Chains A and B, each alone.
Chain A
C-alpha cells in the first residue's frame, strides 16, 4: 500500500506499507493522506528488505553506521527489531530525504497489536525525523491537545495520562471545535502571530471517545463499539479544524492526593519550557519502554559533528519561548483520576 501525506506543506510519500486494518494504530498520519499526484516529495519512505551501503561508514554501538549525509540504523527493543537507512541528511534545497525501512523477522509475532507493524516505522524512525523536518520549516510539534472557537485556539498540554483526550472531547461537547487531541504544530502566521496547526494522530479513537465515552468507564458493549469504530474503513466522522490562532495554553499536571483541580497563572516562558521538556521526554519514555526514540539522530553527530541536521529542533526551547509570547498561560493541577471539573477550569471565564 502506498500513501502520500501532506503535513501542512511537508510532503511525505510512503511505499510498501502493510494494508492497515486499524489505521489509527498502524499509521499516525492517515489524517493527512491526499490522493497520489505523482509530484515530488520532501520525504520518500520505502518499506521492505534492502541492502545497506556501508562503504566508508564509521560505526558506534554496533547499531549505527554513519558517514556525512548517510545513516544506517539497526535497532531493537523488547524483542522487536528493525533496520533503517536514511540518505540525504546533508541534502540541498528541493532534494528529498530518502528512508528505507525493514522489519526484523519476529516483529509480527511478538505483540498482538504489532500485527500491523508499521507502527514501528512511525514511532521509532519517522517521528523524530518528522520533528526535525517540520522544525526546519518553522513548525514545532508539541505534545498538546487543542480546541478552537472563533478562530482562536486553546491548547491543553500535558504528559500522557493527564486525560488530554477526555478533556478535549468534553470541550467539544460544550461547543468548541476539535483540532487535535494529542499533538499540534505551532508556527508563525503571515502577520507574525502564533498559529496552531492540527496534527490529529488517532482521529477514530477520538471520535469514539467523543460519541461514546461521556463517562470514563468502558462497559463491554462500549469495548465492542470501540473495535467497530477502530476497524471501520470509512472516513472519520469528526471534522478537525486545520488552523487557528493561539490564544491560551493550559499545562495540566496530575498531582498525588489532590481532590479538586486548581489553576494558577504561569509565565509564558515557563509554559514554553514545559512544552519543550514534554517533547524531549516523549523521546525518552514511551509507555514504560526504556528506549531513546530518535537516538540515531544523536548518534549521527558523534561521527559527523559538523552536521547541522536537526539544529532547528535542538533550538526548540528558544523557538517555543518566542511562539508563546503573548499567549495567556495557566498551570492546572488536577487529581490523579479524571475529574470533570478540570474542563470547567479550562473554559475561559468570559463564557
Chain B
C-alpha cells in the first residue's frame, strides 16, 4: 500500500544510552521538525539493533483482539494503537514491544501532524525507554561550571532558555536549553533546537547575525504574533550547535539543581531537602509528558499487573537518589526577566559549583 520513495533510515544515538532508527515513506516540507529535533544525535551508522524503531508512513493497524477504550485507544498485551489530535494535526501510532525488547513503532500522520508528532509521540517514546533504563529525561536545561552541571527545571515561560543562553554567553558549558538526562553518574546533554519566542531580541541575545532569509522569517513571525495578539505561539528553530558548538558538554557530574518558579520578587532559597524538591521537579516533568502518561494509563488499565504502572513512582524515587548529593534550591524569578535576575542566579551558582563550594 505504502509507496516507499525514501527508504533510507536515519539513525540516532543518544550518548550510547539509547539508539533510535527512523524510516519514512517520503520527505515532505513538514518533516523539518522530524529532521531537526534530534539532529544533534544523528549517527552515521547503526549501532546494533535500535532501542526504538520508528516507521513513518501509512499503515493498516492490527486491531484484532485489542480492547477499545474511548474510541481512540486500542490495547493488547505489549501493544498499543492510538489516535492523537492536536488542533489540525492528526496522527495514528502503533507501538509494539512495550514490555521488553525493542520498541517497534509505526506512525501515520496528516500534513500538520508530521510537524507535531516528533515533539509528542517520539519524545514520549524516548522518555519511556530512557526511564525504563533508569535514565531520567527531565524538563530542565543544564549548564556546567568547573566541570559540574547545574540543572534548571522550570515551567515554560519562566525563563529557562534565556538563563541557559546567558550562562553559555559567559563561557559556561552548555548541555541543552529544554531538557537534559539525569544518569546514575550525573547529567547527560539532550540538545534540541532552540524554541525561541520572539519576545527577546534574539540576535543580541545570542550574539550572532542571522542570514537574510532567517531575518525575513523572524520578521514575518513577529508580525503574525502581533497581529494575533500572541494567540499562536510562533517559534523559530535555531540550532545551538551552530552557536555554542565548542562549549557543548556531553556528560558531567551533577552539582546543583535550581528550580525556577515565577513569583513577585527575585529570591534564591536556602538548600532544600530532596523529598519535597523532587515532588516539584516531578510535576514539572509530568506536565510535559501528557501523552506518555495517558498512554501508560490506557495500557495498564487493560494489562493489569504491568510493571509500567509504577514508572512514575520509580522515576521519583530514582530522582531523589540522584539529587541527594546536589545542592537544591528554589529560585523565584519575576515575570520580567532582567539581567539582575540572571546575575543573582549566577552568583549563587558559582558559589555552589565552584571549587570553594561545599560538596
Contacts and interface: CB of A to CB of B under 8 A. Distances in A.
Contact of A257 (B63, B156, B294, B297): B63
A256 B64 contact: yes
A254 B301 contact: no
Given A61-B156, A290-B86, A298-B286, A281 B298 contact: yes
B68 A277 contact: no
Sorted nearest first, the 5 A-B pairs with minimum C-beta distance are A270-B304, A305-B276, A277-B301, A302-B283, A305-B279
B264 A288 contact: no
Contact of A303 (B68, B157, B261, B305): B261
Given A56-B264, A256-B65, A284-B293, A274 B301 contact: yes
Nearest to B261: A58
Nearest to A300: B283
B74 interface: yes
Given A285-B294, A298-B283, A60 B262 contact: yes
B268 interface: no
Nearest to B284: A302
Interface of A: 56-62, 159-161, 253-258, 266, 269-271, 273-274, 277-278, 280-281, 284-285, 288, 290, 292, 295, 298-299, 301-303, 305-306, 333, 336
15 contacts: A60-B261, A60-B262, A61-B155, A159-B301, A256-B64, A256-B65, A266-B304, A270-B305, A271-B304, A273-B305, A274-B304, A278-B301, A290-B86, A298-B286, A305-B276
Contacts of B293: 284
B64 A257 contact: yes
A254 B74 CA distance: 10
A306 B301 contact: no
Contacts of A281: 69-70, 294, 297-298, 301
B290 A284 contact: yes
Interface residues of B, number: 43
Interface string B71-82: 110100000000
Interface string B166-200: 00000000000000000000000000000000000
Contacts of B300: 273, 277
B355 interface: no
A256 B264 CA distance: 54
Nearest to A255: B67
B161 interface: no
Contacts of A269: 304-305
A270 B132 CA distance: 22
Interface string B285-305: 011001001100110111011
B74 to A, nearest CB: 7
Contacts of B359: none
Q: Determine chain A's interface SS by DSSP, over half rule.
A: mixed
B236 interface: no
Contacts of B297: 277, 280-281, 284
B293 to A, nearest CB: 7
B65 A62 contact: no
A336 B68 CA distance: 8
Nearest to A303: B261
Given A61-B157, A270-B305, A256 B74 contact: yes
B309 interface: yes
Contacts of B284: 302
B304 A58 contact: no
Nearest to B263: A58
B245 interface: no
B85 interface: yes
A210 to B, nearest CB: 25
B280 interface: yes
Nearest to A54: B264
Contact of B335 (A59, A256, A278, A292): A59
A7 B76 CA distance: 38
A161 B69 CA distance: 8
A292 B263 CA distance: 24
Given A256-B63, A274-B304, A284-B297, 8 more contacts: A62-B157, A253-B302, A255-B65, A255-B66, A266-B304, A278-B301, A292-B290, A299-B283
Contacts of B70: 159-161, 281, 285, 288
A135 B71 CA distance: 29
Contacts of A255: 65-68
A301 B280 contact: yes
B231 to A, nearest CB: 11
B41 interface: no
Contacts of B157: 61-62
A159 B68 CA distance: 9
A270 B302 CA distance: 10
Contacts of B283: 298-299, 301-302
B64 A273 contact: no
A285 B335 contact: no
A338 to B, nearest CB: 13
Given A256-B63, A281-B301, A59 B68 contact: no
Contacts of B66: 255-256
Contact of B294 (A278, A284, A306): A284
B111 interface: no
A290 B277 CA distance: 29
B68 A305 contact: no
Given A273-B305, A274-B304, A277-B301, A256 B261 contact: no
B287 A61 contact: yes
Contacts of B68: 161, 254-256, 336
Interface string B256-277: 0000011110000000000011
Contacts of A305: 276-277, 279-280
Interface in B125-174: 155-158
